[in-house]
Copies of this chain bind each other. A is one copy, B any other.
Amino acid sequence: MNRYHFGIPDEEFIRGKVPITKEEIRTITLSKLRIDTNSVIVDIGAGTGSISVECALLAREGKVYAIEVAEEGIDLINANKKKFSVENLEVIQAKAPLGLEMIQSADRIIIGGSKGNLPQIMEWADKHLSEDGIIAANFIVLENLMTFTELLKNMNYDWQLINVTVARSRSIGGSTMMEGLNPIYIVSARRASRKS
């Protein structure tokens, strides 16, 4: 039996029919977050909880809040929380920024889904992100990506966008073929340093 610490394969997560962030995208998102062992992390639109669980394993002395509005998602997050024995993961059923009132401050904020609330979520994030805090967001919809980068420009953040395209091999009778996955956009942002 494998005690996972980092790098959990997609198929190890309990997922139902909820789409899961693919491993390669999840791990790059985690990397961009520069997670510390005691980070307080808010995962908005947590879906199956796959990112929340890996965050909780990395920030083992910290705390992770998984925010998700869908009933099915909440059940999956709780199931994965149990499967991977992460005590420092708190599950909140709400449509962000609702449900975030109890969180005083966040070191890292992940936006996996926004349900059309990107401006309101960023307003909350801007108020509650700790100094040197980091926001990371994944996008598959171009219009949402651009809404987010426009918000970042107006709110004075240093940010980077990467586009990640992964192809995975499939072996058929000793022949190796590459199958393309959908390209994903990952934005990571940090409050721009104030000039004094």
Binding site for B on A (CB under 8 A): 2-9, 23-24, 26-28, 30-37, 58-59, 132, 140-146, 149, 153, 160-169, 174-183
Contacts and interface: CB of A to CB of B under 8 A. Distances in A.
B182 A179 contact: yes
B167 A5 contact: no
Given A27-B31, A142-B146, A165-B166, 12 more contacts: A2-B36, A5-B35, A7-B35, A8-B34, A26-B31, A142-B149, A142-B169, A142-B175, A142-B177, A160-B169, A167-B180, A179-B182
A41 B142 CA distance: 30
Contacts of A144: 175
Contacts of A2: 34, 36, 132
Contacts of A32: 7
25 contacts: A2-B132, A3-B37, A5-B35, A5-B59, A7-B35, A8-B34, A24-B162, A24-B164, A26-B31, A27-B31, A142-B176, A143-B174, A143-B176, A146-B146, A149-B176, A161-B176, A162-B167, A163-B163, A163-B166, A163-B167, A163-B178, A165-B166, A167-B180, A177-B182, A180-B182
Contacts of A174: 143, 153
| Interface of chain A, main secondary structure | mixed
Given A6-B30, A30-B7, A31-B24, A166 B164 contact: yes
As for how many copies of this chain the complex holds, the number is 4
A180 B153 CA distance: 23
